[in-house]
Structure 1
């Protein structure tokens, strides 16, 4: 990644973190309970436990929203601090940006094509431009 890319990524992350948001009430699951629920409800799926998470509703052009819908994806991404990662892609305390949402279940499981994220504790809901989120490169998929 070039120095310009690094600066754009940093600026996009700061803008997201400083943007106003609305509190989203989450679950007070402990790590062991979250791991047990993931194993029961999503056997064999890779997963991440995250805290200090942000649910990001994406602002995007209608044609992009339609394309996401055609792929059965929702215009939502997740940003958060890693607690645990089943594949070791991230260390505890790293941050991540997910790919678009497929399903949100039980009020705490954020499912993408490749990963199920267990949202621990309360988070925030914010809006951001898709173009800004694309600048935040460090997604789970890109770490593989």
Structure 2
């Protein structure tokens, strides 16, 4: 996973640090350690959808995660991923998408929400997340592993962000 300056800034925001501290003193050293750990995260599953089925998708994504929300009464499934292409121009390639509720997932690698169809391409995985984690994924544009690592780092630094 590529570590960029935006991720460093988001980590600083998550642990309530001023971005002027990034990369300096013990705080900067701790940030570098966490970012090194994040760069080791690898996706677990792979999906090669039927080429014909991809034509049905309005948007194709890579680095996808099918997110099951835990700790609630009703089952919820959402999709997070990096946009490859969106035929309707809603999302730019390379940006992330976090969908509304998933209605179904086909064996051919298509994910259906109420109004859209997404094609899953390449490596991805099914994950479980709390509502708070899902909210952070949506607002920060980061995978569940990144969110958990950022939260863990914040707690290690004594700047716990409560759930």
TM-score range, shorter chain: 0.5 to 0.7
**Secondary structure class of the residue paired with 2:132:** helix
Match of 1:128 in 2: 129
Match of 1:75 in 2: 76
Q: TM-score, normalised by structure 1?
A: 0.60
Q: Unaligned regions of 5+ residues in structure 1, if any?
A: 1-6, 12-17, 39-45, 66-73, 140-144
**Secondary structure class of the residue paired with 1:102:** strand
Determine whether 1:50 maps to 2:71.
no
Aligned length, in residue pairs: 106
**Bigger mean CA offset, 47-56 vs 123-132:** 123-132
Match of 2:46 in 1: 25
Quick one: distance in 2 between partners of 1:106 and 1:112? 15
1:1-144 map, 5 Å: 11=14, 23-27=44-48, 33-36=52-55, 38=56, 47-62=58-73, 65=74, 74-135=75-136, 136-137=138-139
Q: TM-score, normalised by structure 2?
A: 0.53
Quick one: distance in 1 between partners of 2:68 and 2:111? 13
**In angstroms, what is the RMSD of aligned CA positions?**
3.0
Would you tell me which structure has more strand in proportion to its own residues? 1
